[in-house]
């Protein structure tokens, strides 16, 4: 393999590694202002991608003080957040516009 091809192979590998920094996608939906699942389980010490889908006819605001995340999601829209790596524990979230709509992300083997 010549130098140019070797260099391109290294760049491609580094690019793939940088874009695949999380293990898998997780999905949380809000329908009738209730989160599903109410308890999302993810591994500890791993960066994850969470897709939040708002199936309601009104906007919602995904809010978590513990995760330091806040995202307004339009009706029938979705948003992506990245979280972690996190230590084992339970992290609460809610809809700022409907505070009775709550859920949690459980990290680790609990």
Map out the domains of the chain as residue ranges.
Answer: 22-107
Q: Hey, which residues does 45 pair with through a beta bridge?
A: none
Say how far apart CA 51 and CA 28 lie, in whole Å: 6
* Residue 17 scores a pLDDT above 60: no
- pLDDT band (50, 70, 90) for residue 62: very high
Mean pLDDT, the chain, rounded, equals 85
The burial of 107, by beta-carbon neighbours within 10 Å (0-12 exposed, 13-18 middle, 19 or more buried), is given as: buried
Say how far apart CA 85 and CA 67 lie, in whole Å: 11
Q: Please choose, from the candidates 105, 71, 103, 65, the residue with its C-alpha nearest in 3D space to the C-alpha of residue 88.
A: 105
* 14 Ramachandran zone, left/alpha/beta (phi>0; psi -120 to 50): alpha
The pLDDT score that the predictor gives to residue 109 is 73
* Highest CATH level, class, for 22-107: mainly beta
* Residue 60 scores a pLDDT above 70: yes
* Residue 56 scores a pLDDT above 60: yes
pLDDT average, residue stretch 32-55: 95
The pLDDT score that the predictor gives to residue 2 is 54
């Amino acid at each position: 393999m010549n130098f140019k091809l070797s260099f391109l192979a290294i760049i491609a590998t580094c690019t793939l590694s940088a874009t695949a920094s999380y293990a898998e996608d997780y999905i949380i939906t809000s329908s009738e202002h209730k989160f599903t699942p109410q308890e999302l389980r993810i591994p500890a010490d791993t960066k994850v991608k969470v897709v939040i889908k708002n199936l309601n006819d009104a906007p919602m605001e995904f809010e978590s003080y513990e995760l330091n995340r806040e995202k307004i999601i339009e009706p029938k829209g979705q948003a992506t957040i990245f979280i972690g790596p996190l230590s084992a524990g339970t992290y609460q979230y809610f809809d700022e516009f409907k505070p009775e709509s709550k859920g949690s992300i459980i990290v680790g083997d609990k």
